[in-house]
A and B are shown apart, each in its own frame.
Chain A
């Protein structure tokens, strides 16, 4: 199993550009999550999904959108990138409520 994969690993965006961060898992997990992590800070939840077709906002959803059309994929869309979105983004998944979350390798995004 590849586990949780994320692409790209690094990206530089200009202010106002848009992009999609890709996340996929091959563990047949229903629950998937997007976090951002700023230097010296913990993980802040952006969006999560409890199954295909179901998504919900986390702590910091503004400026982002998600979709979940399949169990495997959970892309994160940034519209009109801003410098405040410079961060490291992690995708995670878990098999069930309250279970261990498995993390992808992360995407380091810089908005200039």
Chain B
């Protein structure tokens, strides 16, 4: 069974700091990787996707993928209180479906 593991947190960081969120996955054949942000009571929204090894940057967000070690991470620079949410890692390993981790709660204090 394909598994995606995340630390449930909460991860607490002060405003302006770098938040580092990590995710490991079990299927070596995984091809696509996604980070979703979910505010309390809301639906998940995509913030980053990454498909090949290395870093991908988009504004304050950087996704990092290491297929050999089977982990993907998300860095949030200059964290803001508005970044406080649960971050879900999702992995595509085939068969038309995504496997989601349970999410890491991030708390950014002013």
Which A positions have Cβ atoms within 8 angstroms of B?
Answer: 31, 33, 35, 40-43, 45, 48, 50, 58, 90, 97-106
The reply to whether A98 and B31 form a contact with Cβ atoms under 8 Å apart is yes
The reply to whether A40 and B92 form a contact with Cβ atoms under 8 Å apart is no
Contacts of B96 in A (CB 8 A): 31, 48, 50, 97
- Does any Cβ of A come within 8 Å of B63's Cβ? no
Contacts of B102 in A (CB 8 A): 40-42
The A-B contact count (CB < 8 A) is 45
**Chief secondary structure at chain A's binding surface:** loop
Which B positions have Cβ atoms within 8 angstroms of A?
Answer: 4, 8, 31-32, 34, 42-46, 49, 88, 90, 92, 96-98, 100-103
A101 vs B90: C-alpha distance in the bound complex, in angstroms?
10
Given contacts A90-B44, A103-B43, contact A40 B97 (CB under 8 A): no
A102 vs B31: C-alpha distance in the bound complex, in angstroms?
19
Interface centre among B8, B34, B46, B98 (most CB of A within 10 A): B98
- Which residue from A40, A50, A58, A104 sits with its C-beta under 8 Å from B43? A104
Given contacts A41-B102, A42-B88, A42-B103, contact A100 B97 (CB under 8 A): no
Chain B residue at minimal CB-CB distance from A49: B96
- Taking the nearest CB of chain B, how far is it from the CB of A97, in angstroms? 6
- Which residue from A31, A41, A43, A48 sits with its C-beta under 8 Å from B44? A43
A97 vs B44: C-alpha distance in the bound complex, in angstroms?
19
Contacts of B4 in A (CB 8 A): 42
A98 vs B104: C-alpha distance in the bound complex, in angstroms?
22
Chain A residue at minimal CB-CB distance from B8: A40
A and B contact pairs by CB, cutoff 8 A, 5 listed: A42-B4, A43-B44, A48-B96, A90-B43, A105-B43
Contacts of B45 in A (CB 8 A): 103
- Taking the nearest CB of chain B, how far is it from the CB of A6, in angstroms? 9
Contacts of B92 in A (CB 8 A): 97-98
- State the 4 A-B residue pairs at the shortest beta-carbon distance, nearest first: A42-B102, A103-B43, A98-B32, A42-B100
